[in-house]
Structure 1
Amino acid sequence: MRLIHTSDWQIGKVFRFADDDILSVLQQERLEAIGRIGRLARSEGADAILVAGDVYDYARPAERTLRQPVERMRQFPDLRWHLIPGNHDFHEPDGLWDRLLRMGLPDNISVHLGHDPAPLDAAGTAWIIPAGLGHRHVIGDPSARMDAAPTPEGAIRLGLAHGSVRDFGDGAPDHNRIAIDRARQAGLTYLALGDWHGAVRIDSRTWYSGTPEIDGFDLGGAGGGQALLVTLDGPRAEPAVAVHDVGRFRWAREQAVLTGLADIDALDGRLRAIDRDDPSRVLVRLAVSGALRLSELEAYQARIVGALGSALRLLRIDGMPGLAPSPDDLDAFGPAGAVRAAADALAHQAREGAGEAGEIAAAALQRLHLLAREGAA
């Protein structure tokens, strides 16, 4: 038996750093990932898809947002989709899950709102033991009932839960905390977990699938953008788990200290190398520091802010290079006169000014340099 393990679709997620154009693309791609998961299941001969919570990003989505993932799953009538609520889309009275049931779901979608085991296939060779969440924060282990959950003798026992196997040292009480050895305690063949956004192996029978579409700069190299193909040869056999890329976008957090053209060249090459074939798939948060001459600052604005910022899906820049005008930079304004005096004053303020005042002076000096150069031409 083969199945796909996925979680944390978080349909409707709001990316607060993004403008409206980028936001709509990122939200749409989370829906498109459902199709890629379905096509992966078909190509690999999987029988079902287990979605371990957080199908939606919040508990009260608009009607259109509510229906959108259902319509994507409807396009794969040969596959069975098994869903549980997570901490973002927890099951509350008259909440989104009750709305979905009243709306009517396709026959290929099963929503598991309680804790009762349910057969995965018509033959009853495998059973799902769900542990969805009824509140955003559940005190205790939502998977504890799996230990005593009844299933037929010799059946494959599949746990499906949402929560964390450890706390994060923030002093808060344990919420949605799952025993790290739950698979062993409950006699599970496989435990499919959601909540962490990177694909993580806890033990040979316990995995987090991560989110199928990366949703943060810090997840760029941490296993996001994937789904798991799980092969089960029997109730006691160790599962074979293969990680498959299903995400479109690539996210990265970078930093650069710029002191000259060579640093600008290196930064340009490094960011373009993230995806040379399609830079529009790349989102970068870049921390910039250092100091540049006037001509170098112009090159930075043209090549990094301008050209590269247009090539990438998103280039978010924190900070900016300082201005360190050379004598040659200032000599370009002439040996004397009002323009040279203004340039000298702005250069001093750019070097000595703190915070916004220094940045404004640097920008003004750069603009003055451009005007002087245009006048000379």
Structure 2
Amino acid sequence: MKFVHTSDWQIGRTFRFADDDTLGALQAERVEVIRRLGQLARQEGAAHVLVAGDVYEHETPTEKTLHQPMERMRQFADVQWHLIPGNHDADTPEGVWARLLREGAVPENVTVHRQPGPVRLVGAEEAWLLPVVLQRRHVLSDLTAYMDEAPTPPDALRIGLAHGSVTGFGNGEEAEHNPVAIDRARKAGLSYLALGDWHGFCQIDARTAYSGTPETDRFGAGGGGGGEALVVNLRGPRAEPEVTRHRTGRYVWKKFEDVTLTNAEDIHALEARVRGVAPDNPGAVLVWLVVSGLLTVDDMALYESTIIRRLSGAVACLRLSGAPQLSAGLDDLERFGPGGAVRTAAEVLLEQAQGGGEEGAVAADALQRLFLFWNEVGGQAA
């Protein structure tokens, strides 16, 4: 049989760094990607889509957010969708799954697995799903252990579906929660173990993999990546699974660290690097720049116009950490003329900036703003 493996949709997720427009677009795309998953299943001839937890970001989503994924899956009546609770949407008494079932909002082609145990996959000869159900956000025991003794017919395809952290994989406190034995597929005689929780694709062994989230949701490593789903082809209970990765995400997230700017050439090179991430569709790129350096007055104006204004308008989101500092001296004050209030204010700010400290940093920023403003108005301000 052939099926699609996906996880960590996290419908309703928020991104604190994003403005309202960007946030709305990112949230909408997390819903829209469900349609692409359905199309992928049809395209590949996969009758089932296995969603390994975290369909929702929160246990108490709004009514609209609650129903959005269900309605998208309803559009693909020829595909059977199998959902399990994750750590973000655990099956609590008043959680999302209880609400959906109470309202009768789950389509006929969607199965919410709320109990562990073998379930025969309709339309597949001797294929059985072994789901794991999280009833609270964190557990310390391995809920996949029941799979070892779960009865299925001889020579059946045994497919595990779980949300958790493979023992020995990942770091930090989170890795201790919802543990999954690294050799569970072998112990339980699984043809394949479909996992969720890690947001980037990761193949643990030939029969165990994390699909990652279908729409990328973070910068950098540590569960980053994503934007994919897996198509898994099982040719027999003992045959090694054929796992292929398929791009499903729209947005590309890219972080540029340690960007040091010292002149105009550096600025133009940075612009080219960012635009080169997706030359044909920069509007689908989210960029995080970690910037430092020292720029002259003219180069600072170029940075402001090229990066802050023009580039931020080209990409979906431009996130900045740090900033280049202004390199200004007495010669630069000639821009303000030989005298006048603006020249006097600039001299005071320059002196304070050169003094350093917190007050100096504030003065340097104010002086930079003054130079940029003066450039914009062409020295015509009173």
The answer to whether the superposition gives a TM-score over 0.5 is yes
Distance 1:235 1:261, change over 3 A: same
Partner of residue 264, structure 1: 267
Give the AA of the match of 2:151: P
Shift of residue 371, structure 1, vs aligned partner? 6.4
Q: How do 1:54-65 residues align onto structure 2 when only pairs under 5 Å count?
A: 54-65=54-65
Report what 1:195 is aligned to: 197
Instruction: Kindly report structure 1 stretches of 4+ aligned residues shifted beyond 4 Å.
Output: 219-222, 335-339
Find the residue that maps to 2:336 and give its secondary structure.
coil
For 1:213-241, what per-residue CA distance to the aligned partner results, in whole angstroms no more than 9, with x for missing partners?
11111259953100001011010000000
Q: Give the counterpart of 1:277 among 280, 292, 305.
A: 280
Partner of 2:357: helix, strand, or coil?
coil
Question: Partners of 1:258 and 1:212 in 2: how far apart?
Answer: 35
Moved more, 367-376 or 15-24: 367-376
Distance 1:122 1:361, change over 3 A: closer
Deviation of the 1:374 alpha carbon: 3.4
* Structure 1, gaps ≥5 residues long: none
Tell me if 1:295 matches 2:273. Answer: no
Residue in structure 2 matched with residue 204 of structure 1 by the alignment? 206
Is 1:29 the counterpart of 2:29 in the alignment?
yes
Is 1:134 aligned to residue 135 of structure 2?
yes
1:85-137 CA-to-partner distances (Å, cap 9, x unmatched) read 00000001132112212222222111111111101123542100001211100
Matches within 5 A, 1:296-311: 296-311=299-314
1:51 corresponding residue in structure 2: 51
- Percent identity reads 52
Residues 165 and 257 (structure 1), Cα distance of their counterparts in 2 relative to 1, 3 Å cut: same
Show the 5 A alignment for 1:331-346.
331-335=334-338, 339-346=342-349
Matched letter for residue 53 of structure 1: G
Query: Which residue does the alignment assign to 1:214?
Result: 216
Deviations 1:172-195 (A, max 9, x none): 782101001100000000000000
Cα 1:320/1:68, change in 2 over 3 Å: same
Shift of the alpha carbon at 1:166? 3.3
1:369 matched to 2:371? The reply is no
The answer to whether the 8 A contact 2:218-2:224 is kept is no
Indicate how the Cα distance of structure 1 residues 159 and 280 shifts in structure 2: closer, same or farther if over 3 A, else same. Answer: same
Change (3 A) 1:221 1:91: closer
Deviations 1:23-44 (A, max 9, x none): 1111100001000011011111
Quote the Cα distance in structure 2 between the aligned partners of 1:70 and 1:368. 52
SS for the counterpart of 1:300 is helix
Structure 2 counterpart of 1:141, one-letter code: D
Whether the 8 Å contact between 1:140 and 1:174 is mirrored in structure 2 is no
In structure 1, how many angstroms separate the alpha carbons of the residues matched to 2:186 and 2:367?
Answer: 63
CA distance in 1, matches of 2:345, 2:370: 8
Do residues 103 (structure 1) and 108 (structure 2) align?
no
1:219–1:251 Cα contact (<8 Å) kept: no
State the match for 2:363 in structure 1.
358
Residues 59-208 of structure 1: pairs in structure 2 closer than 5 A: 59-104=59-104, 105-166=106-167, 168-170=170-172, 174-208=176-210
CA distance in 1, matches of 2:367, 2:218: 32
Q: For 1:283 and 1:172, locate their aligned partners in 2 and report how far apart those are by CA, in whole Å.
A: 26
> 3-state DSSP class of the match of 1:143?
helix
User: Which letter does structure 2 place at the counterpart of 1:346?
Assistant: L
Shift in alpha-carbon separation, 1:55–1:361, aligned structure 2, 3 A: same
SS at match of 2:226: coil
How far apart in 1 are the matches of 2:59 and 2:92? 8
Alignment match, 1:14: 14
Q: Distance in 2 between the 1:367 and 1:183 partners? A: 62
Q: CA distance change for structure 1 residues 222 and 368 in 2, over 3 Å: closer, same or farther?
A: closer
Aligned pair in 2 of structure 1 residues 205, 287: CA closer, same or farther (>3 Å)?
same
Give the counterpart letter for 2:266 in structure 1. D
* C-alpha displacement of 1:328: 4.8
Shift of residue 338 of structure 1? 5.2
Specify every segment of 5 or more residues in structure 2 that has no aligned partner in the other structure, as ranges: none
1:143-172 Cα shifts (integer Å, max 9, x gaps): 111111111111100000000013654357
State the one-letter code of the partner of 2:271. D
Query: What is the CA distance between 1:372 and its match in structure 2?
Result: 7.2
* Count, aligned residues: 376
Secondary structure at 2:209's aligned position in 1?
strand
TM-score (norm 2): 0.93
What is the identity, as a one-letter code, of the residue corresponding to 2:315? L
What is the CA–CA distance in structure 2 between the aligned matches of 1:53 and 1:297, rounded to whole Å? 47
Give SS of 2:246's match. strand
- For 2:323, the aligned partner's letter is M
Question: 1:13 and 1:240 mapped to 2: Cα distance?
Answer: 32
